[in-house]
Chain A
Amino acid sequence: MKVPLHLAKEKEAQAIGFPPVAEAEHQMRLLAEIDDYRKSARSLMVMLETCTKCGACAEACHSYLGTQDFNNIPAARADLFRKIYKRYFTFTGKNLSRFIGAEDFDAETIGKWVTYFYQCNECRRCAVFCPFGIDTAEITIAARHILTRLGVMPRFMAGIAANMAKTGNNMGIPKPAILDSAEFMEDEMREETGLEIKITVDKPGSDILYIPSSADFFSNIDTMIGAAKMFHALEVNWTIPSTVLEAANFGLLFNLDVMKEQNERLREAAASLGAKLVIQGECGHGWRAAKMYTEGATGPAPFELVHVLEYAYQHLPKFKLNKLPWRVTLHDPCNYARAGDIIEQPRAIIKACVTDFVEMTPNRERNYCCGGGSGLLMDEMMEIRMQLGKKKAEQVKELGHLDYLASPCSICKAQLPHVMKHYGMGDLKMGGVMDLLGKALVWD
């Protein structure tokens, strides 16, 4: 099977609980998994049965526009699933398959699914333009979940799931390293402000649990520093749980069983530290996974859940800010603008922090994905990733000179520097929105 990414090897798939199914059994297992999935997701069946192939999605999809590959048209991508569904689960498909576009499972099916469901960024832009509201992301989520159940998944995802199981975070950062990094960031803030701004870890009796992205403890340090400064300015009692140093939840992106485990970790961390308010850091899909599925996965949650940008927005009038003399634009992470209701808050925060905020076009719920969405950050996919990022690069280029591109999501933060460099904008500074708040805050 030739696919554009590295698949997990047998022992890697096995290590996270998905031993590969023998190829001879692929068809049987795939159909059994589809049957199982459709019982709990009628929305999937509606989406599989209502597409009229009107073509509205083609021009809406940056994946198709960037790659010009027919199978990356959302309706065509979904058809890879739809044809199998029709063939084996509908009356006409079982009896008259060749007349209704149904297709037999064959030796190519699994390879095609891997190839094209891992070129969908699950950005949901097609759903905004589809007259029926068909959301290809839902079909992609189902396909990837089912593939994983067969033991077929990117090596990248399997590695992250192994780290999540071991440490509760994607990067696999153990607690001593978390403490060391927190101390380093405290030193940095002391040098800059002269203040004792704390980043406490696992402090019992905390009112607020802050869930950063683990990348904030590696490359996106200013996002973490921005949040710490904000909490210091508000004088609140907060901590970070070492067991869930991760706003992301890659389970949503390749297997829903894995997603539930991370939802459960979040719940346990809040319970053990006594927090009543959980604040999710800058992470797009993780916000969707936490907001939309925590209670579905684990039952009623004994805490309130908000996003750090909602929280910062709520408290904006309380901050003493000195505007940075920068021209800044905002890249709307797909899962905020099309799946998580975080649209105006980052704009209000940025406008309070810089002198010149400029919108890219289109924006908000019509914004294009960075091209890394749904965890397509594999090095071996770099060429495709650059094609997926083409629309974004064009949007940014149209704005002329910029001092900063704000993209409050760790996947975007990992993808965009490659995209900007590839399309000749390698000097552009990038980072989160909390980074700006941290830099604009002034102290008495």
Chain B
Amino acid sequence: MNCERCRTELEDFLYGELSAAQSAAIREHLTGCADCRVVRDTLERENEIFAEFYEQTALDPAPEMWEAIRSRIAAEAPATEPRAGWLARLSEWLSVERLLASAMLRQTAFAALLVIISVAATTLYFTLKNNRSNADNVARTIPTPQPAQSPEQPKATPTPAPDSPSPGTDSVRPEVASVPKGSATKSLRSVQAKFSEKPNAPLAGTANEDELIQRQVARAVREYQDAVVLLERKIARRRDSLDPVVIAQYEKSIDLINRSIAESRRTMRERPNDPAAGQYLLAAYAKKVELMQEIALQ
């Protein structure tokens, strides 16, 4: 190590910001270099002067300050009470996350949520399957189905695919309005409707059904992603005018949701045929878009 390098790194060395190896190299150089030791001593003297300055000029809060703070917080709702607007809804969404601080417990919370959604989704999924099986059984009990008396097709009400946002448009609101809100439930209804559209179509088996669900989830995810891009632009444009506390809270919340999305994606990769993972992914995206809308349109 030469003198120039040593002096460049001396400040960080004194702050304790260097690695053990870098610190050792500095120490070794200082042992044999009187000039650099003078620089180090001078920096240390500066640090002492600044520390003394801080000790002599730092302000102690007057007792009245705590009294003023206490009276203000006493006038407000307790910190744990629900708050209005998106924060309240987000708190509800993330309540498990907030209560359980450790990574392991978060995993457990995620798993529990996944189980709940999985139970709901699987119940509906098997209900659909049973309905179809019953219909098939009924059809099989009719020896010679007459064309004029074919089983009545269920009144399917296909859920229209959400309109894709128009990239490149300046106005965000119309795109936001086209976001497939209602998320997991609506998407599941879409899947249900898709099945209902072709009740007599020969189902090749579970593989085709899983494939259909996966395609539906992938399409909804792409649309959410398009909406996210547009909302990000909108939020970036008005970021400076937003309350920094709100922004900080928003970023933390988005980070949590992004982690949920990443977890869901990982689960989807590990269990590609599990409909619950896809539904949870859509629910997380829906929550993300909802939160971004709140911020963008605030």
Q: Do A and B bind each other?
A: no
